[in-house]
Structure 1
Amino acid sequence: MHYEVICTSCKRTFKLSEGEEQYKQYKERKSHLFYCENCKHKIRFDAIRNFFRNY
């Protein structure tokens, strides 16, 4: 089973598969912000890059 949601960042539709953390959050209505794999990777990479830029 899966849900189709819209990525908060790029506005593209993607699927949340059963077993993923975001799937659980969507099902329990705990979060309204969902990110596709590409956007999650970009956000994580930017956070790491900014962390090392400050040191």
Structure 2
Amino acid sequence: MIFIHYEVNCTSCKKTFKLFEGEEQYKQLKERKSRLFYCEGCKHKIRFDTIRNFFSYY
């Protein structure tokens, strides 16, 4: 089975990772809607930091 993918650099950690067909970031790359791409580790860290900062105000 052949999987179509692109290799891109993570905007945060600068590591190369693969975007596979069907992922939201793959769609954004194909439609040229975004130039900022994040690997799973960085996406999780950003999401966690956002939630933590949101609840630190309350």
Which bin holds the TM-score, normalised by the shorter protein? over 0.9
Identity %: 82
Structure 2: unaligned runs, 5 residues or longer: none
Structure 1: unaligned runs, 5 residues or longer: none
Using structure 1 for the length normalisation, give the TM-score: 0.99
Structure 1 runs, 4 residues or longer, greater than 3 Å off: none
Using structure 2 for the length normalisation, give the TM-score: 0.94
Tell me the residue number matched to 1:42: 45
> Within 5 Å, which residues of 2 pair with 1:13-32?
13-32=16-35
1:2 aligns with 2:5: yes
Rg (Cα) greater in structure: 2
The Cα RMSD (Å) is: 0.3
